[in-house]
Chain A
Amino acid sequence: MSRFPLDLGSPGWEYAPAPEARTVARLDAGAQGRLFIGGTWQDAADGATFPTHSPATDEHLADVALAGGTDVDRAVAAARAALPAWSGLPGAERAKLLFRLARMLQERAREFAVLEVLDNGKPIRETRDFDVPTAAAHLFHHAGWADKLDHAGLGPAPRPVGVVGAIVPWNFPLLMLAWKVAPALASGSTVVLKPAETTPLTALRFAELCEQADLPPGVLNVVTGAGATGAALVRHPGVDKIAFTGSTAVGKDIQRTLAGTDRRLTLELGGKAANIVFADAPIDETIEGIVDGIFFNQGHVCCAGSRLLVEEPVHDLVVERLTRRIGTLRLGDPLDKNTDVGAINSPAQLARIRELADVGEAEGAQRWTADCPLPERGNWFPPTVFTGVSQSSRIAQEEIFGPVLSVLTFRTPDEAVTKANNTPYGLSAGIWTEKGARILWMADRLRAGVVWANTFNRFDPASPFGGVKESGFGREGGRQGLHAYLEPSADRGGIDG
């Protein structure tokens, strides 16, 4: 009597394609691909460009200006010139502009979400439900701060740090931009932004938004390019502060460059977070949390829960449930609204993930890979889990920055803490247990900037985010994040003696 036309064999029906329309991204928009300096759109001084591709299809999306030293000079000069007027505006006026930007971003959320998908390869579900709304939330949050800086905890009338060089990574191009631009503009600072080489498009679109919002020329400047462009910005003596999110190796270079100067620096670098599962964890939600922790954004997350530490008695259960659940993840066209796992951002990153996965296997860990077909074009890596991983293994020590989970075990809370802390990094950690006291005991001992309890990869503009050890220093979000863009006012010395 069954009239159901779909295959009823496990694991269920196939979802009909539900692609988001790519036309809203307006890839042919006029200003596409040029530098935004002093409120005008410019080609690179030497006319150089570089291409940006869709990681999911290898499609050529746009040619973008490759900023050289001259362009960086111009951008820094424009930011410097804009500084007195911008920082001199009443806070409420800066707030007005930030609120306007936040609202405009919300209004054009779909456009930004689709453009981010095309350039980055992550699924539309994530850009639509996470990247764009959270970016807008950061703008709203910091808009609220702009006229309340007296209450930021630095005494009355704190001063802006000045010209900020913001260098953001490719994993959350728009969101990382917002994390830096929002507090900088609220503080009265001006910004030269360098987006990542593989994902420049949403930053340029954001510059367009700033232009339409009547942000004064020079307050935000965007210079696109690769490592050399970033290095020129870092070395530039006209920059008062560098805010960098990216790899630990580059972060160390930046710190060396700035050593001995009076330029300030915040670094948000790599991670190898431990996600710690106790036997009394709420198992179904824990499995979801592990999946969120490592497969969110294809594992291209500095705070990804890439090391799963499981209490020994539940190891087999957790691995069995986890692999069963990973088997239901939908990998493929990132523009499809039902896609859970998108493309790896670049061929270089794919090669790095493959190399480390091979190392894991060579070192004796057992490799499990989700049985999902990979698209023929583009950069793809299937969700992968390594069990039997030892603490000394490279896949337990090095950041893979991909959809690869290493599973280790522990016997006691002490051992869990010791193993979790035994890494050069210290960005985040997760604890899964129904015991409140144990959560607090663990959180006190974990050397990580962020500790999540019974959840993972949650962010809020009011909550400071950042690392310890080789994961960097400085915080983004909250009052602590704002401090990175402020200095105590000159007369504070008089008050405090």
Chain B
Amino acid sequence: MAALVLPDLDVDPRTLGDGEAALTAFLRGLPGVDRVGNERRAAQLATRSLKQDTKRALIDLAIRTVDLTTLEGADTPARVRSLCARALRPDPADAEVPPVAAVCVYPDLVATAAEAVAGSSVRVAAVATAFPSGRASRTVKLTDTREAVAAGADEIDMVIDRGAFLSGRYGAVADEIRAVKEVCGDAHLKVILETGELATYDNVRRASWLALIAGADTIKTSTGKVSPAATHPVALVMLQAVRDFHLMTGERRGVKVAGGIRTTKDALRHLVLVNETVGADWLTPDRYRIGASGLLTDLLLQRQKLRTGVYGSADRVTLD
């Protein structure tokens, strides 16, 4: 029978070793996720009512946790510079608005972004490892990562090999994460699970633990190229993994939700999930990120609305 692994707080999953058998046994021993119950809990937390000071503070927190993202074939250095300017000062009219956490770009634009945000708190994140599909050789993926780091990326957003994961080759997925982690050096590694392709919450839980065990600094829901992406129930399962990993090892790893988060209301509901699942220690850009492009506009408009009572036109905030 699959043993319930979690009760035994003496187990340190980081010491399972590199063997695939031990890893597979561990992942298969994780408790299941009941779909109905999980979605119900996520829906229940979505009814939390955020007012006044709480809402004000959370909008600013949401802005501080944004990874402002552009991942288009049509991206140009000029567009990336414009994005960086917005990341540094989201609202030119209001210096009180904090900068976002990071800008997230393709590897070939890292140098441009790094130059644009140099000397600020804004970090540069690069999607690497043949993002978004991850369908390339290990050599290509590692080269992709190396080049991004060399160009000045502070953070690497890698994708897991979903094909390997879905066919049960957990060892291969873990090896690849370890290999990428190694070439990351000091860069912070975010591991994208692409939960929309994993299909079940049980898989999301297993992939989360797999990534944490293999050394992910942060586990991330999605590339943004596949739907569904950062749903509340998926975020809940990943937060539970990070919470339980902390209970077992004492380490606090991060979570990044990305894909489909466009409104302040949705972003704040994600923050409620964080608050009530892992607690305040994760309410910081060091451990929590929201990957988004359009969200920032609504956050700024909602922020203005709290001050003026009026929800302005999108023309009232700068788009890039």
| Interface residues of A, Cβ cutoff 8 Å to B | 1-18, 125, 129, 279-286, 288-289, 313-314, 316-317, 328, 337-338, 434, 454-455
Contact = CB atoms under 8 A, between A and B. Distances in A.
| Chain A to chain B: the 7 pairs with minimum beta-carbon distance, closest first | A285-B37, A317-B7, A18-B49, A337-B49, A282-B34, A12-B275, A285-B34
B93 interface: no
Nearest to B283: A8
Given A285-B37, A314-B7, A455-B36, A15 B49 contact: yes
Contact of B276 (A6, A12, A282): A12
B34 A14 contact: no
8 contacts: A11-B279, A16-B53, A282-B33, A284-B240, A285-B37, A286-B34, A316-B7, A338-B49
B55 A283 contact: no
Contact of A454 (B7, B34, B279, B284): B34
A338 B45 CA distance: 9
Contacts, number: 111
Name the residue in B37, B52, B58, B60 with the highest tally of chain A Cβ atoms < 10 Å from its Cβ: B37
A5 B61 CA distance: 10
B48 A15 contact: yes
A14 B4 contact: no
A8 B34 contact: no
Contact of B54 (A10, A14, A280, A313): A14
Interface of B: 1-2, 4, 6-7, 31-34, 36-38, 40-41, 47-55, 57-58, 60-61, 64, 98, 121, 240, 275-276, 279-281, 283-284
B121 A280 contact: no
A17 B279 contact: no
A497 B152 CA distance: 92
Given A6-B57, A12-B275, A15-B48, A284 B280 contact: no
A314 B2 CA distance: 13
B276 A328 contact: yes
B123 to A, nearest CB: 12
Contacts of A328: 276
B54 A15 contact: yes
A12 B47 contact: no
B57 A5 contact: yes
Nearest to A337: B49
A10 B280 contact: yes
Contacts of A17: 51
A292 to B, nearest CB: 9
A239 to B, nearest CB: 41
A11 B33 CA distance: 24
Contacts of A454: 34, 36-37
A288 B37 contact: yes
Contact of A16 (B38, B41, B52, B281): B52
Contacts of B281: 8, 10
A455 B44 CA distance: 14
A458 to B, nearest CB: 9
A485 to B, nearest CB: 32
A483 B37 CA distance: 33
B250 to A, nearest CB: 15
A289 B57 contact: no
A282 B34 CA distance: 6
Nearest to B7: A317
A275 to B, nearest CB: 13
Given A16-B50, A286-B34, 15 more contacts: A5-B57, A6-B54, A8-B280, A13-B275, A15-B51, A17-B51, A18-B50, A280-B1, A314-B7, A316-B7, A337-B47, A337-B49, A338-B49, A454-B37, A455-B36
Name the residue in A3, A283, A316, A317 with the highest tally of chain B Cβ atoms < 10 Å from its Cβ: A283
Contacts of A317: 4, 6-7
A283 B4 contact: yes
A1 B4 CA distance: 41
A12 B41 contact: no
A3 B60 contact: yes
Nearest to A282: B34
A320 to B, nearest CB: 8
Contacts of A13: 54, 57-58, 275, 280, 283
Contact of B61 (A4, A11, A285, A455): A4
A279 B8 CA distance: 13
Contact of B279 (A12, A18, A279, A286): A12
A285 B202 CA distance: 13
B34 to A, nearest CB: 4
A284 B279 contact: no
A16 B34 contact: no
Contact of A284 (B33, B47, B284): B33
B240 A313 contact: no
A57 B134 CA distance: 60
Nearest to A318: B7
B37 A338 contact: no
Contact of B51 (A6, A9, A16): A16
Nearest to A432: B34
Contacts of B54: 6, 13-16
A391 B236 CA distance: 36
A474 to B, nearest CB: 29
Contacts of A284: 31, 33, 37-38, 41, 240
Name the residue in A284, A338, A455 with the highest tally of chain B Cβ atoms < 10 Å from its Cβ: A284
Contacts of A125: 47
A283 B31 contact: yes
